[in-house]
């Protein structure tokens, strides 16, 4: 019992540990990625099987993943609110139960509509309650190594796609898609175990309140001396000498102390205001708005390629047994892309926003290359290139919300919730838009054009993030708030004529500074 209670308590550090229990959280995040995004990206192996079984169009089958991604991103603010209210651990554990329940229920579906409810709504909500709290608490355990650790831990989905794609294809041929979904749902129960490892973290800096105690005592002594001196001077003018000095009091009497303020009132005044469960003030930040629009359009190119790569290979006459290896090659190259991106961002040769912009531009080029492939070698090369570039973007775009160019670490939880919520529209429209283009052109390569167009728009808004941040930093100081004037207001009042004259002269100088034109100050 004592060991369990110790695991349930928050980890208290004087600064961000950049390790410690954070390594266990990183391992939990790795397996959360395996059973969330790894399963979503591997769902393409069921695509043709479901089209033939339910006798539905490509666009209607693609709505299964679209609804799932939409619910996962649309309910992101709910995930933030629940995590701030109840903690990350119980939210992730409940999310794991929902994911497993939805996937198992889908194995008994009799129509596409039931698949929409099971995988789209139930599992989609579980994905949201699982992924976002895990990546948020992982970012709180790391600061200097945050980009690298998050990138490496997020490779779980890549290894999952590498393993799941051929394994599920073989199982599908052996026992059918229904039993495959049932087995995947049972494996996803491991998310509950991962959630139990997410111990909360509390950062309490060392107590520095004791250091200025001497200065405060000295200032209080000066104020008492001034008060006593002024009282004596006034009494002498009236003909009676009265002093509050202890030597003038009768023997046996002690000077009366001023009544101390009630402790309860003091504690009430010092008690901080409770933080909101979801801080929408990030929407007043222009740089965050541009970054959210980048995520909105870039999401069009995140999920559709992995959904349509196998149908594209089959349409080109590539053997059905070789098609799943496209996803495997994409997954392996994505591992190197994520680790490489994390290493580069950790070195910070330039601002991280500029590095991310270069990654997004290369990802757009990779998407445009797919329609020009005509054989197995060409598709494999495109898959490797796309996987590497996809890893550089998907492994870094959410942790970048914690950077000062966006919202900062203090508002990361609310920033990520709102950011992913805005992505929900693209998550819902991306795969069906590709399916409509495929049904209209009868060419699976056309689905990649819509992804490339969305990625190009995302790159445009990403390029505007830093200019918007620089624009906010050029605000002029308000009148009467010059730093010298602030210092003059904070000077302690002394009874000496010399100090009074000095304070008066400094006040006049501040007045002249405030009346001077703004360019003179700068």
Q: What is the domain-level CATH number for residue 453?
A: 1.20.1250.20
Structure confidence at residue 91 (pLDDT): 94
Find out whether 173 and 453 touch, Cβ atoms under 8 Å: no
Q: Which residue has the higher pLDDT, 36 or 424?
A: 36
Find out whether 158 and 332 touch, Cβ atoms under 8 Å: yes
Gyration radius of the chain over CA positions: 31
Tokens of 476: 């002029």
Mean pLDDT of the chain: 76
How far is the C-alpha of 401 from the C-alpha of 63, rounded, in Å? Answer: 29
- The 10 Å Cβ neighbour count of residue 207 is 8
| pTM summary value | 0.63
442-447 contacts at long range (C-beta below 8 A, 24 or more positions apart): 443/315, 443/371, 444/308, 444/311, 444/312, 444/315, 445/312, 445/370, 445/371, 446/371, 447/304, 447/305, 447/308, 447/312
Structure confidence at residue 332 (pLDDT): 85
Structure confidence at residue 109 (pLDDT): 92
The answer to whether position 439 is within a domain reads yes
The answer to whether position 480 is within a domain reads no
The answer to whether position 132 is within a domain reads yes
The answer to whether position 509 is within a domain reads no
Task: Report helix angle 412-441 to 124-141, nearest 10.
Answer: 140
Residue-range definition of the domain harbouring residue 167:
12-205+278-472
Please give the average per-residue pLDDT across 26-37, as a whole number: 92
Please give the average per-residue pLDDT across 389-411, as a whole number: 81
At residue 352 the predicted structure's pLDDT band, cuts being 50, 70 and 90, is confident
Close Cβ partners of 144 (under 8 Å, ≥ 6 residues apart)? 16, 18, 346
Structure confidence at residue 278 (pLDDT): 67
Question: Does residue 471 carry a pLDDT above 90?
Answer: no
Find out whether 444 and 438 touch, Cβ atoms under 8 Å: yes
The answer to whether position 21 is within a domain reads yes
Domain total for the chain?
1
The answer to whether position 235 is within a domain reads no
The answer to whether position 313 is within a domain reads yes
Structure confidence at residue 127 (pLDDT): 94
Structure confidence at residue 513 (pLDDT): 47
Structure confidence at residue 509 (pLDDT): 52
The answer to whether position 243 is within a domain reads no
Structure confidence at residue 504 (pLDDT): 55
């Amino acid at each position: 019992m004592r060991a369990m209670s110790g695991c349930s308590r928050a980890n208290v550090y004087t600064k961000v540990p950049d390790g410690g229990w954070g390594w266990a959280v990183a391992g939990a995040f790795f397996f959360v990625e395996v059973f969330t995004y790894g399963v979503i990206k591997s769902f393409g192996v069921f695509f043709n099987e479901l089209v033939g079984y339910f006798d539905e169009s490509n666009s209607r089958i693609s709505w299964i993943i679209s609804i799932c991604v939409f619910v996962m991103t649309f309910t992101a603010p709910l995930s933030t609110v629940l995590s701030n209210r109840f903690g990350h651990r119980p939210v992730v554990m409940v999310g794991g139960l929902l994911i497993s329940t939805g996937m198992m229920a889908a194995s008994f579906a009799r129509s596409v509509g039931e698949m929409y409810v099971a995988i789209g709504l139930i599992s989609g909500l579980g994905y949201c309650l699982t992924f976002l709290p895990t990546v948020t608490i992982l970012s709180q355990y790391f600061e200097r190594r945050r980009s690298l650790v998050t990138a490496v831990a997020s490779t779980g989905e890549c290894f999952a796609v590498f393993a799941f794609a051929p394994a599920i294809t073989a199982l599908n041929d052996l026992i059918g898609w229904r039993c495959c979904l049932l087995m995947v749902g049972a494996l996803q129960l491991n998310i509950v175990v991962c959630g139990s490892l997410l111990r909360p973290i509390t950062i309490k800096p060392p107590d520095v309140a004791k250091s200025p105690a001497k200065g405060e005592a000295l200032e209080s002594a000066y104020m008492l001396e001034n008060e006593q001196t002024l009282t004596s001077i006034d009494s002498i003018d009236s003909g009676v000498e009265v002093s509050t000095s202890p030597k003038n009091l009768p023997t046996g009497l002690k000077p009366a102390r001023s009544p101390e303020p009630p402790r309860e009132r003091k504690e009430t005044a010092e008690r901080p205001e409770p933080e909101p469960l979801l801080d929408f003030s990030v929407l007043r930040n222009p740089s965050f708005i541009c970054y959210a629009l980048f995520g909105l359009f870039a999401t069009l190119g995140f999920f559709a390629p992995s959904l349509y790569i196998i149908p594209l290979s089959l349409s080109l006459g590539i053997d059905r047994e070789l098609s799943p290896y496209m996803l495997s090659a994409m997954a392996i190259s994505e591992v190197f892309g994520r680790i490489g991106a994390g290493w580069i961002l950790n070195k910070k040769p330039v601002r991280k926003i500029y590095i991310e912009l270069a990654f997004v531009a290369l990802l757009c080029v990779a998407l445009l290359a797919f329609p020009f492939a005509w054989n197995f070698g060409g598709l494999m090369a495109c898959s490797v290139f796309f996987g590497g570039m996809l890893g550089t973007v998907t492994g870094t775009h959410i942790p970048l919300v914690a950077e000062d160019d966006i919202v900062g670490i203090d508002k990361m939880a609310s920033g990520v919730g709102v950011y992913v919520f805005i992505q929900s529209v693209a998550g819902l429209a991306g795969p069906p838009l590709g399916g409509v283009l495929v049904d209209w052109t009868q060419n699976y390569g056309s689905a990649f054009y819509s992804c490339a167009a969305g990625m190009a728009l995302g790159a445009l808004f990403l390029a505007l993030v830093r200019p918007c941040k620089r624009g906010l930093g050029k605000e002029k100081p308000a009148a009467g708030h010059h730093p010298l004037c602030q210092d003059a207001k904070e000077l302690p009042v002394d009874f000496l004529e010399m100090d009074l004259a000095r304070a008066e002269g400094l006040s006049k100088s501040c007045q002249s500074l405030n009346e001077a034109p703004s360019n003179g100050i700068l």
